[in-house]
Structure 1
């Protein structure tokens, strides 16, 4: 079983958490100006890397806070946990900050 380090509650079993998908997705500034294809891409197109993936997680059966996790998708190692709105810890996960929307 995977264990996740909640920034507020500490290390807990994966069963207490809910994955919210890819982190750092930017909502279009003016959705009314987007075509149907652009809106569909925003809603449904996500990366599925073999390697480090930045994800949103919620401590559903704990403090109910959302936070971000850098997880390796092959071995499920958690490389970093950081709060929503915080900068991506690029030095610890090997992800260039330019590759991620702020």
Structure 2
């Protein structure tokens, strides 16, 4: 069974979590001025990276908090998890 390390609860079964998609997507500041095409790109277009990728995860059956994770999309290995806003220099929790 795959385990994911929640920054607050520690290592737990993958079944306790829900993936929220790509992390670090910034909402346009003046969204009311965007064209339909630009708004569609913001809402729907994602990188779909092959390799190391940053994602948002939700601990649905635990603390019910969101966090970021770096995960290899080829091997499915979690490299680290960290609280949203901690960024690259934040506390790092390795995968178990």
TM-score by length of 1: 0.85
Aligned residues: 90
Shift of 1:50: 1.1
Q: Distance in 1 between matches of 2:87 and 2:10?
A: 20
Higher RCO structure (Cα 8 Å, ≥6 apart)? 2
The residue that corresponds to 1:35 in the other structure is: 35
Q: Summarize deviations over 1:37-94 as a string: whole Å, max 9, x none.
A: 00000000001111001000000000000000000001111111110011125xx9xx
Q: Which runs of 5+ in 2 are unaligned?
A: none
1:20 aligns with 2:20: yes
Pairwise CA RMSD: 1.2
Contact 1:2 1:76 in 2 (8 A): no
Q: Which runs of 5+ in 1 are unaligned?
A: 93-102
